[in-house]
Amino acid sequence: MQLLANVLIDGLAYGMVLFIIAVGLSVTLGLMRFVNLAHGAFAMIGGYVAALLTREAQWSFWIALPVAIAATAATGALLEAFVLRHLYRRTELEQVLFTIGLSFFLIAGTNALAGPQVQLIVLPPLLAQSVDLGFRTLPAQRLFVIGTGLIVAAVAAWTVTRTRFGVWLRAAVDHPDTAATLGIPIRTVQCASFAAGAALAGLGGVLGAELMPLEPYYALKYLVLVLVVVAVGGMGSLPGSLLAAVTLGIVETASKYLASDWGSLFFFLAMAVLLAWRPNGLLQR
Amino acid sequence: MILLVIGLLAWWALPDQLGLVTRIAITALFVLSLDLVVGIAGLATLGHAALFGVGAYAAGIFALHLHVDPLLGLMVAIAAGSLLALASGAFLLRYHGFTFLMLTVAVAQIVASLAQKARDWTGGDDGLSGFTMGPLLGLFEFDLEGKTAALYALVVLAAGLYVSRRVVDSPFGLAVRGIHENRARMAALGTPVVRRLLAMYTLAGALAGAAGGLSAQTNAIVGLDSLSFALSAEALVMLILGGAGRLHGALIGTVVFTLLHHTAASINPYHWLFIIGAALMAVVLLPPQKAWAWLRSRRGAKA
Amino acid sequence: MISQIRRMAVTAATTYLALTAFGVSAQPVKVGIVGPFSGPYSHYGSLFKNGAEAYIASQGGKLAGKEIELIYRDTGGPNPGQTKTLVQELIVKDKVDYLGGFVFTPNALAVAPLIQQSKTPTVIFNAATSAITDKSEFFLRTSYTLWQVTVPIAQWAAKNNIKKVVTAVTDYGPGIDAETAWKSEFTKQGGTTVESIRMPIATTDFAPFVQRIKASGAQAVYTFLPGGPPNLGFVKAYNENGLAKSGIQFLGTAETDEFDLQKFGDAALGLTTAFHYSAAHDSPENRTFIEALKKRDPNAIANYASVGAWDGMYVIHKMIEATGGQKDGQKALTAGRELQWESPRGPVRIDPKTRHIVQNVYLRNVERVGGVLVNKEVQSFGPQTDYGLDK
Share of residues in chain B with pLDDT > 90 (%)? 36
CA angle B29, B31, B37 (to 5 degrees): 115
pLDDT at site B17: 75
pLDDT in tens, C146-186: 889 999 999 999 888 889 999 999 888 888 889 999 999 99
3-class DSSP assignment, residue A155: helix
Alpha helices, H only, chain A: 2-32, 39-55, 61-82, 92-114, 125-128, 140-162, 164-174, 176-181, 186-207, 218-221, 223-233, 238-258, 265-277
Which residues neighbour A155 within 8 Å (Cβ) at sequence distance 6 or greater? none
pLDDT value for C19: 46
CA of C83: which chain B residue's CA is closest? B219
Average pLDDT, integer, range C245-251: 86
Nearest to B113 among A29, A92, A265 (CB): A265
Whole-angstrom distance, CA of residue C253 vs CA of residue C256: 8
Q: At a CB cut-off of 8 Å and minimum separation 6, what does C79 contact?
A: B223, B225, C106, C107
> Cα–Cα distance between B151 and B159 in angstroms, integer?
12
Give the whole-angstrom CA distance, residue B38 versus residue B244.
7
Q: Note down the domain range covering A21.
A: 2-118+140-277
Do residues C187 and C42 share a domain? no
Q: Tell me which chain C residues have a C-beta less than 8 angstroms from the C-beta of B133.
A: none
Segment A17-46 mean pLDDT = 86
> Hey, where are the domains in chain B?
2-229
What was the pLDDT predicted at A73? Answer: 93
Q: Specify the pLDDT at position B47.
A: 92
Q: Which string of DSSP letters, residue by residue, matches C237-251?
A: HHHHTTTTTTT-EEE
C243 and C373 assigned to the same domain: yes
Cα R_g (chain A), whole angstroms: 19
pLDDT at res. C316: 92
Residue C3 lies in a domain: no
Domain with residue A240: its CATH number is: 1.10.3470
Give ipTM to 2 decimals: 0.84
* Residue A284 located in a structural domain: no
Does position B301 have pLDDT exceeding 80, yes or no? no
Q: Is the pLDDT of residue B288 over 70?
A: no
Residue C2 lies in a domain: no
In a domain, C5, yes or no: no
Which residues from chain A sit within 8 angstroms of residue C204, using beta carbons?
A: 211-213
Range of the domain at C367: 147-275+361-390
pLDDT of residue C206: 86
- Domain match, C190 and C328 both: no
Quick check: B103 and A102 CB within 8 A? no
- The answer to which of A164-173, B152-161, B232-241 has the lowest mean pLDDT is A164-173
pLDDT attached to residue C138:
92
pLDDT tens, position by position, B54-97: 999 999 999 888 888 888 899 999 999 999 999 999 999 988 88
Q: Which chain B residues touch C77 with a CB distance below 8 Å?
A: 225
**C254 and C207 in a common domain:** yes
In a domain, A127, yes or no: no
Q: Please tell me the distance in Å from B115's CA to the nearest CA on chain C.
A: 13
Q: Inspect the interface and report whether the beta carbons of B19 and C45 lie closer than 8 Å.
A: no
Residue of B nearest to C82 (CA): B23
pLDDT of residue C23: 42
CA distance A6 to chain B (A): 24
- Counting residues of chain A whose pLDDT is more than 70, the rounded percentage is 99
Query: What pLDDT does residue B145 have?
Result: 73
Whether residues C264 and C379 fall in one domain: yes
Per-residue pLDDT tens over the stretch A74-133? 999 999 888 888 888 888 888 888 898 899 888 888 888 887 777 888 888 888 777 777
Which pLDDT value is given to residue A85?
81
How much is the pLDDT for A77?
92
Closest Cα in chain A, distance from residue C162 (Å): 24
> Does the pLDDT at position C337 exceed 60?
yes
Residues of B with Cβ-Cβ distance to C111 under 8 angstroms = none
Q: How far apart are CA A168 and CA B272, in angstroms?
A: 43
| pLDDT tens column, A47-76 | 999 999 988 888 888 888 999 999 999 999
Q: Does C171 touch chain B (CB under 8 A)?
A: yes
Residue A135 within a domain:
no
**Among B220, B225, B269, beta carbon nearest to C113:** B220
- Please tell me which residue of chain C has the smallest CA distance to A127: C240
Q: Does B109 touch chain A (CB under 8 A)?
A: yes
Q: Which of A28, A96, A117, A230 to mutate to test the interface with B (most CBs of B within 10 A)?
A: A96
In a domain, C9, yes or no: no
pLDDT of residue A190 exceeding 60: yes
| Claim to verify: residue C60 and residue C159 sit in the same structural domain | no
- What does the pLDDT read at residue B167? 92
Phi, psi of C376 (to 5 degrees): -85, 125
Mean pLDDT of C113-142: 90
Determine what percent of chain C is predicted with pLDDT higher than 70: 93
Would residue A181 count as lying in a domain? yes
Q: Is B18 on the interface with C (CB under 8 A)?
A: yes
What is the chain C residue with the closest CA to B225?
Answer: C79
Q: Do residues C122 and C260 share a domain?
A: no
Closest Cα in chain C to B218: C81
Structural domain contains residue A147? yes
Provide the 3-class DSSP secondary structure of residue A212: coil
Q: Which residues of A touch C240 (CB under 8 A)?
A: 130, 138-139
Residues of C in contact with A132 (CB under 8 A): 242
Of C15, C32, C33, C37, nearest to C24 by C-alpha is C15
Residue of C74, C77, C129 with shortest CB distance to B126 = C129
3-state DSSP call for residue C38? coil
Number of domains in chain C: 2
- Residue B219: CB atoms within 10 A of its CB come to 30
**How many domains does the structure of chain A reveal?**
1
CATH number at residue C242: 3.40.50.2300
Taking 90 as the threshold, does the pLDDT of residue C42 lie above it? no
H or E segment at C273? strand C272-275
Residue A195 domain-assigned (yes or no): yes
Whether the CB of B13 is below 8 Å from some CB of chain C: the reply is no
Nearest to A260 among C207, C209, C245 (CB): C209
- In 3D space, the residue among C49, C11, C31 whose CA is nearest the CA of residue C297 turns out to be C49
Instruction: State whether B125 and C85 contact (CB < 8 Å).
Output: no
Q: Interface of chain A against chain B, CB under 8 Å?
A: 29, 87, 90, 92-94, 96-98, 100-109, 111-112, 220, 224, 227-228, 231-232, 235, 261-265, 267-269, 271-272, 275-276, 279-280
User: Are C104 and C129 spatial neighbours (Cβ–Cβ below 8 Å)?
Assistant: no
C79 neighbourhood in chain B, CB within 8 Å: 223, 225
Please report which residue ranges of chain B form alpha helices under DSSP H: 2-13, 18-35, 49-65, 70-92, 97-117, 119-122, 147-169, 171-181, 183-188, 193-219, 229-242, 248-267, 272-285, 288-302
Confidence of residue C3 (pLDDT cuts 50, 70, 90): low
